[in-house]
Amino acid sequence: MRRNPVRRLAAGAAALLLLLTSGAARADERALARVVLMPDLIPSVMIQLVPMTIELPTGELPAGRTGARASRIKIEGLVYCGGDGKGGAWAIGAAYPAAGAAEPNTARPNMLATPDCQAPLPAIAQRLAHAADAPAWVEIIKARVTWTPWMLRFAVADTADAGNNAAAAPQLSGLGQLKSFSTSNLHILPPPGEQNRFDIAIGFSDSSIVAALFPAGRTSNPMPYLKGDPVLAAEMADAPARANAVTDAQYGFINALLRLYAPSFDIPLQLQGITQRGITQRLTARNLRAEGGDNTMTLNGQLDFGNVSYSAAVHCEGDDLAIRQVTLVPPPIRCDNADPIAQLQCQGQQAAGGAFGPMLTSIYQGQRFHYSTVDRPLRFTLGDAEFAARFEALRSSSRGSTFNEDGNIMIERIDRAAASLR
């Protein structure tokens, strides 16, 4: 479907919003943005985290065990089992010998699923140990997942192993912490914001995960932003059927993104009477800034067409932020030329400029303020793996000083994406 100029003009804020971080830090400690991962999204995120190699501490074999003790394992299956009611969450992982495990780009399919969260660990181990490509042993790990500033930790709560050489499987039940990921001082913006650093806070509920974004080193207490929020709860309840995530961001944060990524950009314009000789005219949008309140949002800036620079405003209203009015104010022109022909030309230019905004309003009124980020995905690193996140916007809204977006997030491990292109 052809993109229209007004939508392209308005879309800059929403497109950059879903990058989830800002190039400018706030003076206070409020979260710059938050994203809630809903139940449909979490399994695909967990799949992208594996395979995961774990280095084990050295030591003597437990009593009754013989042979060489594994020094490394590779987790190739992982499933999220929901919050534990105490601020953490549960997960089930399938570990194999690292030496015999597949490489990251040729990993086995994730053979764990949500029903395994309720199954006995020995039964899961027996099932995977008898799979066609099973190695000498498999060990099933029940892990408690916790986050405290600024570290995400996986700790062993229980294990079960099986296989034709299960004696060689490491006994992990007393290991404690299995894996940890730092969530502070992260580079997650694409160029030109790649040098900026941010902290990510993570909270768990029964069926969802919330991540809050802060400027690095500026927040002493992120916990209030991870608790139940009526605004986000309402967004989740009203989200479109295809949405797997909801987000919100401060308007000041959105404007910082606009300054960083869209100080100016061209908008192709194809309107009858303006396009001449088959050549598409272009508008240049610059100095954009967004502001809003309850069920209202306005994007202001400059719009250059030819040698005329308009003060522009796109005003949106409603619970899905539909465009209501486009206002374009031309610069003041003095039509006091003594030449009658020149005076008529000046007056005609004034009339044309005044009609431009109403013309665009009549064409684009009612269109929704939606945009999808595919050209500039968020990139971030956890451990030794890099990921890309893209967003398909489905519904927009505004509440007080925050802009909300419901949509569909796609997360992909970059080493796999590169392999698929070979």
Domain ranges of the chain: 1-38+182-422, 42-175
Map residue 8 onto helix, strand or coil: helix
In angstroms, how far is the first alpha carbon of the chain from the final one? 31
pLDDT of residue 201: 96
pTM (2 decimals)?
A: 0.80
pLDDT of residue 20: 36
Task: Tell me whether the omega of the peptide bond preceding residue 192 falls within 30 degrees of 0, making it cis.
Answer: yes
CA 209 to chain centre: 13
pLDDT of residue 25: 35
Q: Phi then psi for 153, rounded to 5 degrees?
A: -125, 140
Distance CA 245, CA 81 (A): 18
Angle at 97 between CA 95 and CA 98, to 5 degrees: 100
Distance CA 119, CA 134 (A): 20
Q: What torsion, rounded to 10 degrees, do the Cα atoms 82, 87, 93, 97 define?
A: 170
Q: Where are the beta strands (DSSP E) in 261-401?
A: 264-269, 281-293, 296-305, 308-317, 322-329, 373-382, 385-399
Task: Look at the alpha carbons of 180, 186, 187, 188 in this order and tell me if their dihedral is positive or negative.
Answer: positive
Using 50 as the pLDDT threshold, list the residues of the chain that sit under it.
1-27, 60-63, 66-68, 101-106, 272-278, 417-422
Which residues partner with 413 through β-bridges?
387
Q: What is the H or E stretch that residue 155 is in?
A: strand 151-162
Q: Which of 263, 264, 258, 238 is nearest to 404 (CA)?
A: 238
**Residue carrying the six token digits 């949002």:** 297
pLDDT of residue 275: 47
